[in-house]
Amino acid sequence: MAIGKYTAMDYLTNNYITLMLLAALAMLLTVNRRMKIHGIQYMWATICIVLGLTVAEALEDICDTYMLDHRILYIKTAFVYWFYPLTAMLQLYLVAPIKHKRLMALPYMISSAVVFADIFDTRLIYYFDEDHSFNGGAFANMPVAVLCFYIVMLGMYSLMIIIKRGDRRKGVVALFMTVTAVLSAIGENIGFARGMTEEVTAIELLIYYFFLAAINYSETQESLYKSRIELERQRLKLLVVQMQPHFIFNALATIQSLCYTDSEAAADCIDVFGDYLRANINSISSEEPIDFEAELEHCEQFIKLEKASRDVDFIVVYDLKVRDFKVPPLTVQPIVENAIKYGALSRRDGSGMVKIVTEECGGMIVISVADNGTGASMTTTQKEHHSVGLENTRRRLEIQCGGTLELEITENGSAATIKLPKTGISGGGSRHA
């Protein structure tokens, strides 16, 4: 005859904290199932194990409440002795990248086999009397020893992470799990925290999940940042590639036009163009910023080619107060090209002028290219060509060095202004070409 009752409410009351923690963790794992977090499979396994431990404890309470056959307690105790070391082993797998998992599981497998044998009353580790009293066998300490083995391994790995690998974040979390596991085992043994192992394990899992989720988020952000940087590098390469043929084809077109009108001038231009390619091919293909002086040489070579191919003359004025800084390759040259073609050359009386100015202003290097043409009267096609080159340059400035490019067009000409973060300054002067 039953001496009391054990209901589902008793089970929920006795395991309320554990069940709530497990439910929260299961919900997080389900909601974030797309996150590629290391060790998730071990978390699910441990959740099932901890849940099984609560059921095993409930089975003992039911057996005692209704004074059922004491042999039921053999099955309950076998589950407990199987599950407790298994939770520690899975925590070790969760924290440490164990290569030889089967070898590491050998102590647990041996202990589990002996525990299984005791179900048939071999009395190696435990046995029960008919009044449900527990008794230890010759190897009563084997399950505890196996549990301590995995706890010690967890602690050793924690220290190894901190000392050898320098990963203090993961090492501290692993060390926390080790300390709580040790305290839980000691408390269970001396009766101080009996029945609290499930709660402690659930708390450890929840803490470690949030830690892994934070690490995963950090790694994802870093991966996205690297991908973004690589994307910008590829865009920069494409922009540079687009600029190279633009300049080369224009130069060849200039030489071709001279071949019909002035063969000697065409030959001189070929020499100039050949010198340009031999001397500056590395700068043209460079992804890194180059010295402003090198970029200025690009401009001068282009100016020579333009002067040789035009019937209308123009002048270029230099006012270089700052020279010692770097710019992305082919940055100033296309702006000078636009200023000549759509500005200076629009004055058919030979009074066209382009002025190149560099100066330091407010911690920035400012490059200004202005012309005295009639930019506001450009045709639609000319404006399209003009804007494509400037937009290309603007994007490369932004991507490569955080620079800006602004353009102002009026009836009296146009002015393009480049602003770069200051990288170096030295004296300069003025000259004319």
Contact between residue 20 and residue 51 where contact means Cβ atoms under 8 Å apart? no
Q: Provide the pLDDT for residue 424.
A: 43
Per the structure block, which two tokens stand in for 188?
């269970």
Percent of the chain exceeding pLDDT 90 equals: 13
Report DSSP letters for 63-93, one per residue: HHHTT--TTHHHHHHHHHHHHHHHHHHHHHH
Separation CA 255–CA 267 (nearest Å): 8
pTM, to two decimals:
0.46
290: left (phi over 0), alpha (psi -120 to 50) or beta: beta
Separation CA 290–CA 420 (nearest Å): 13
Residue 108 has pLDDT above 50, yes or no: yes
Write the CA distances from 156 to 27, 92, 330, integer angstroms.
Answer: 32, 10, 58
At how many degrees (to 10) do helices 168-190 and 72-95 cross?
160
Determine the 3-state secondary structure of 362 from DSSP. coil
Residue 238 has pLDDT above 60, yes or no: no
What is the average pLDDT value for the chain, to the nearest integer?
78
Q: What is the mean pLDDT of residues 62-66?
A: 85
Per the structure block, which two tokens stand in for 141?
């300490």
Q: Which of 258-262, 331-335, 369-373 has the lowest average pLDDT?
A: 258-262
Residue 417 has pLDDT above 90, yes or no: yes
Q: What is the mean pLDDT of residues 251-273?
A: 82
pLDDT band at 373 (very low <50, low <70, confident <90, very high): confident
**CB-based burial of residue 337 (10 Å sphere; 0-12 exposed, 13-18 middle, 19+ buried)?**
buried
Residue 358 has pLDDT above 90, yes or no: yes
Contact between residue 208 and residue 177 where contact means Cβ atoms under 8 Å apart? yes
Separation CA 410–CA 343 (nearest Å): 11
Sheet strands (E) in 129-263: 134-136
Residue 95 has pLDDT above 70, yes or no: no
CATH architecture of 8-224: Up-down Bundle (1.20)
Per the structure block, which two tokens stand in for 363?
């911690």
Residue 1 has pLDDT above 60, yes or no: no
Nearest to 213 by CA among 48, 25, 22: 25
CATH class of this structure's domain 262-432: alpha beta
Write the CA distances from 65 to 3, 74, 140, 191, 291, integer angstroms.
Answer: 6, 16, 26, 21, 88
Residue 323 has pLDDT above 70, yes or no: yes
Nearest to 47 by CA among 27, 31, 25, 32: 25
Q: Give the number of other Cβ atoms within 10 Å of residue 52's Cβ.
A: 16
Write the CA distances from 28 to 23, 31, 44, 202, 223, integer angstroms.
Answer: 9, 5, 11, 13, 23
List CB contacts of 156: < 8 A, sequence separation 6 or more. none
Where along the chain do its domains lie? 8-224, 262-432
Q: Do domains 8-224 and 262-432 have the same CATH topology?
A: no
Amino acid found at 424: G
Q: What's the CA dihedral at 432, 248, 283, 265 to 10 degrees?
A: -40
Write the CA distances from 220 to 28, 225, 227, 334, integer angstroms.
Answer: 18, 8, 10, 39
Bridge partners (DSSP) listed for residue 369 = 356, 416
